[in-house]
């Protein structure tokens, strides 16, 4: 095999000229919820083969990868899962990552453990956070999380995050037709008044356990129309190229919302995002069916330069644009579950 030349971060673009800017790291494949669209109970039960502890990347391995990715151009890292706050001593990992200068670090959580952990996360150096909440209606929310978890406890978590100064707080709501469309307006009114940024996410065909169907998707356009009729909106510019949420602000000046139209208005052409699974595989697309084993490199004593070179070559070979070609793709292929690859 010909020798592999090291890759300079400034030149690191994929086959479609997209730079590597964002990284999502899944720190656990476990969760205390069983959201029907993500980890349906029938499959994620006590017999499910969750990863063994020694398979997980250690905090040292995650921090080393984060540092190397940062050196290759990654500006933003999001910790996710599974439920990241279920990873033992997650605040210790935040503390280690917070020493990487110039890195924008954030985390997505279902909020259940925030009342207990928000202050420790802030003390460890976390600056901001995203909390998922799919409805303000207890019966709808409980049916979606499927573990009987009440809305009030998530709001308590959001309040705890605000109290700890984890600001700004963003709220993620997945919208599924016939399940929680009725919650769009109450959620918009509630977070408009509170000032947190609510982001509506189109229900996606991630993994293969949620039985996704196109007719269960409520499009971003429909969501905007529903809200606009009651609370007029106008579009605003993205904060940066590659931002996945389209931003809209209320015409009365009372804040903004976002819509993530990953199904109906694919944004692959600007996708600058890589993902590391709980056991250290690098995926260059949320819908990839295989990843590259970085953990093996780390555990086989590869040098920093060797790891960076490997990452660089994987990124340079990237051609993924699943959402752009979703509709043309007639042969379903096995995809990775979101709880493993990181949402």
Q: What share of the chain is helix, strand, coil (3-state, %, to 5)?
A: 35, 15, 45
* 72 vs 149, beta carbon nearer ligand SAM: 149
The DSSP code sequence of 99-149 is: TSTT-EEEEEE-STTHHHHHHHHHHHT---EEEE---SSHHHHHHHHSS--
Q: Please give the Cα distance from 233 to 253 (Å, whole number).
A: 10
Q: Closest Cα to residue 38, out of 174, 196, 200?
A: 174
Binding track over 196-235 against ligand SAM, x by CB under 6 A: -----x-xx-x---x-------------------------
Residue 113 corresponds to which tokens in the numbers above? 């453990």
* Shortest Å, Cβ 34 to ligand SAM: 11
* Contact status: 321 vs ligand SAM (CB under 6 A): no
Find which of ligand SAM, ligand SF4, none residue 322 binds, CB within 5 to 8 Å per kind: ligand SF4
Q: In what order do the strands lie in the sheet with 233-236?
A: 233-236, 246-250, 256-260, 197-202, 169-175, 129-132, 104-109, 76-80, 22-26, 273-276, 281-283, 292-293
User: What CA–CA distances, in Å, run from 178 to 145, 175, 181, 339?
Assistant: 16, 9, 6, 24
Q: Using the CB atoms, write b or e for 10-19: b if 16+ within 10 Å.
A: eebebeeebb
* Shortest Å, Cβ 151 to ligand SAM: 14
* Shortest Å, Cβ 285 to ligand SF4: 3
* 12 vs 85, beta carbon nearer ligand SAM: 85
**Chain residues 63-82 in contact with ligand SAM, contact rule CB under 6 A:** 80-81
* 34 vs 170, beta carbon nearer ligand SF4: 34
Find which of ligand SF4, ligand SAM, none residue 172 binds, CB within 5 to 8 Å per kind: ligand SAM
The vertex-121 CA angle with 116 and 122, nearest 5°, equals 115
Among 7, 74, 97, 108, binds ligand SAM (CB under 6 A): 108
* Shortest Å, Cβ 117 to ligand SAM: 13
Find which of ligand SF4, ligand SAM, none residue 285 binds, CB within 5 to 8 Å per kind: ligand SF4
* Shortest Å, Cβ 104 to ligand SF4: 19
Among 78, 209, 338, 340, binds ligand SAM (CB under 6 A): 338
Q: Which stretch binds ligand SAM (CB under 6 A): 68-76, 92-100, 102-110, 218-226?
A: 102-110
* Shortest Å, Cβ 94 to ligand SAM: 15
* 56 vs 286, beta carbon nearer ligand SF4: 286
Phi, psi for 119 (deg, rounded to 5): -65, -40
The helix/strand/coil state of 50 is coil
* 162 vs 298, beta carbon nearer ligand SAM: 162
Q: Is residue 255 packed enough to be buried (19+ CB in 10 Å), middle (13-18) or exposed (0-12)? A: middle
| Residue numbers at the binding site for ligand SAM (CB under 6 A) | 31, 37-38, 80-81, 83, 108-110, 132, 172, 174, 201, 203-204, 206, 210, 338-339, 343
């Amino acid at each position: 095999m010909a020798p592999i030349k090291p890759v300079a971060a400034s030149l690191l673009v994929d086959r479609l000229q997209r730079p590597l800017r964002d990284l999502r790291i899944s720190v656990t494949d476990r969760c205390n919820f069983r959201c029907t669209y993500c980890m349906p109970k029938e499959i994620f039960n006590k017999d499910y083969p969750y990863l063994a502890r020694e398979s997980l990347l250690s905090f040292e391995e995650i921090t080393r990868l984060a540092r190397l990715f940062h050196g290759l151009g990654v500006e933003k890292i999001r910790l996710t899962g599974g439920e990241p706050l279920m990873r033992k001593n997650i605040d210790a990992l935040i503390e280690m990552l917070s020493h990487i200068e110039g890195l924008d670090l954030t985390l997505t959580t279902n909020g259940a453990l925030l009342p207990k952990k928000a202050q420790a996360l802030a003390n460890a150096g976390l600056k901001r956070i995203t909390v998922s909440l799919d409805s303000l209606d207890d019966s709808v929310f409980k049916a979606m999380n499927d573990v009987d978890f009440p809305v009030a406890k998530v709001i308590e978590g959001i309040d705890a995050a605000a109290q700890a100064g984890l600001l700004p707080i963003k709220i993620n709501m997945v919208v599924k037709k016939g399940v929680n469309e009725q919650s769009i307006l109450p959620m918009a009114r509630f977070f408009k008044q509170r000032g947190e940024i609510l982001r509506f996410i189109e229900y996606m065909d991630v993994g293969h356990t949620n039985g996704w169907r196109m007719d269960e998707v409520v499009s971003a356009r429909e969501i905007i129309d529903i809200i606009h009729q009651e609370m007029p909106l106008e579009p605003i510019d993205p904060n940066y190229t590659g931002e996945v949420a389209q931003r809209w602000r209320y015409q009365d000046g009372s804040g903004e919302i976002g819509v993530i139209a990953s199904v109906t208005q694919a944004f692959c052409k600007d996708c600058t995002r890589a993902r590391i699974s709980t056991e250290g595989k690098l995926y260059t697309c949320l819908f990839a069916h295989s990843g590259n084993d970085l953990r093996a490199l780390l555990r086989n004593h590869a040098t920093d330069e060797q790891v960076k070179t490997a990452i660089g070559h994987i990124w340079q070979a990237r051609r993924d644009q699943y959402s752009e070609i979703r509709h043309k793709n007639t042969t379903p292929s096995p995809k990775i579950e979101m709880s493993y690859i990181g949402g």
